Chains A and B, each alone.
Chain A
């Protein structure tokens, strides 16, 4: 297991990932139903609406999951000031949620994500012990996205969710984990040293009893 995964496990409550893993698959049929089963919406419009409905449902689930895991979350304007992303900040990480065509594709390029992902160029150094990079880079948090994508054969079905750390140009990934793999890592990484409780007195045998100092 790499250091980045180790840091995520130590910092981010597992409940956050569990909630997302359980609830993201549900929002795909829900979004499809809302866009395609409204008799007042034409089919070609429904196709157009679907990603927007999915986006807003995903943002809501993302915020709710963060709050349930006691992670501070707030909407933050993008650089064009025309959309607010839900931004969860925990320890040295911050996360948004985005969709992509496949788990190997990056989300749509945006100035907002590029700015956020600048720090990720230092990721290999940030996760290495005893290496200090310049203080300017330190003022930011490591940026990750909770990336979800639909089944290419059936857009009403969820295919997978990944935790991805985009490169600074937003065209590739510095690191990426399947959410199921990440959750299983929590059982591997001990958050604390193992410490048994053996602080128990044992009765002396009857013939050894001294009975105090008097």
Chain B
């Protein structure tokens, strides 16, 4: 009889493979089996031999138990991306897989915690997304500022604003130039999710990304899947989110009053205060009619000639905003919740490095805490000799933090 791994979930293998950005062929090469075998495992026609399972676990850097965990029932998701081009498809799939892990982590934490109350403003918007005008977006952005009592000054931390309002934020690497961030708030869900990219390490761009996603959540929550798939409407939806982000980050009246000259130097001088990129300020100035026509074209050319489209001055001067809520939750579980890292890992069945990244934990919070191996007493003759090697660290996770082994 052929030895398999009863209970192995093929869908989990697909999920893990896509989360790591591997093709089935690549996996087959890495664990030295035929591609057909991987395909059969994925389709549930066969289960891998325990040796192959070990290798899958090592190659995909996931615990073996991950492949046996049932998946929660799937549902249609409307996730907002900046681009739906084929170039971003694999990056999107990879990001979505990791997003589903984020959702698993949040579901787990919601069992222990109450998160901040959800408080995002809602507006009566036209049913047809193309009927939302730029003028109404300006008004909505202003009312959002009013809702959160932000006044007309720069918002110090957009991520904190989203988390204070009950949103779930995560920052993770997408490993794709074309993917910056995405968000989701389904009509039947209690709170919105914001996933921000960590690849570019640019605080100014990242704030714009977060505000852009906020724009989607405020303006497009009612959007249908069909709207989302029409390229003309998709483009308009993206423009609207960008307009919202600009208006939210740079309120017209205050921003105009601070521009003493519509020049790149002036925008650069305002960059540390408003924490918005020069290019975004130039775009905003165009929206507000401060610069237009040939003069605007020349400014864009100059910006390109300076090389500021790739990297602007001061880009390294500001730290990227770091989400706090999930990090604080896991840290609280470890300190006040009487749970060990091993217990959290055993439940979530994910790699500690993945959880650390998704929950924005300090590296090592879960991955460096290893169970202390306690060797059971050896019997030499009738005398039990107990050996404890305190320096010995291993992946074996036999006990919780506050539990003592019972040695008969």
Contacts and interface: CB of A to CB of B under 8 A. Distances in A.
B114 to A, nearest CB: 5
Contacts of B290: 132
Contacts, number: 114
A200 B116 CA distance: 7
A207 to B, nearest CB: 13
Interface stretch (A3-11, A60-68, A153-161): A3-11
A213 B107 contact: yes
Interface in B139-168: 149-151, 153-157, 160-161, 163-164
Given A193-B153, A195-B161, A201 B257 contact: no
Interface stretch (A43-51, A137-145, A164-172, A176-184): A137-145
A129 B114 CA distance: 44
A142 B347 CA distance: 63
B358 to A, nearest CB: 16
B116 A199 contact: yes
Interface range on chain B (Cβ under 8 Å from partner): 35 or more
B135 to A, nearest CB: 16
A137 B300 CA distance: 22
B336 interface: yes
A113 to B, nearest CB: 20
A213 B116 CA distance: 21
B277 to A, nearest CB: 17
A200 B160 contact: no
Contacts of A138: 260-263
Secondary structure class of chain A's binding surface, majority of residues: loop
A111 interface: no
Interface string A190-214: 1111111111111110000111111
Contacts of B388: none
Interface in B223-263: 253-254, 256-258, 260-263
B115 A201 contact: yes
A204 B107 contact: no
A98 interface: no
A127 B254 CA distance: 11
Given A7-B258, A129-B257, A212-B108, A191 B153 contact: yes
Interface string A12-35: 000000000000000000000000
Interface in A80-132: 90-92, 126-130, 132
A201 B192 CA distance: 16
Nearest to A126: B260
B256 A129 contact: yes
A198 B164 contact: yes
B386 interface: no
Interface of A: 3, 7, 10-11, 90-92, 126-130, 132, 135, 138-139, 141-142, 190-204, 209-214
Given A91-B266, A129-B254, A138-B263, 18 more contacts: A7-B258, A10-B258, A11-B273, A135-B262, A190-B151, A191-B153, A192-B155, A193-B149, A198-B116, A199-B325, A200-B328, A201-B113, A203-B112, A203-B113, A203-B336, A204-B112, A204-B114, A212-B347
Interface of B: 72, 107-116, 149-151, 153-157, 160-161, 163-164, 253-254, 256-258, 260-263, 266, 269-270, 273, 290, 295, 324-325, 328-329, 332, 336-337, 347
Which 9 pairs between the two chains have the least Cβ-Cβ distance?
A: A92-B260, A199-B163, A201-B113, A129-B257, A138-B261, A210-B111, A193-B150, A91-B269, A201-B329
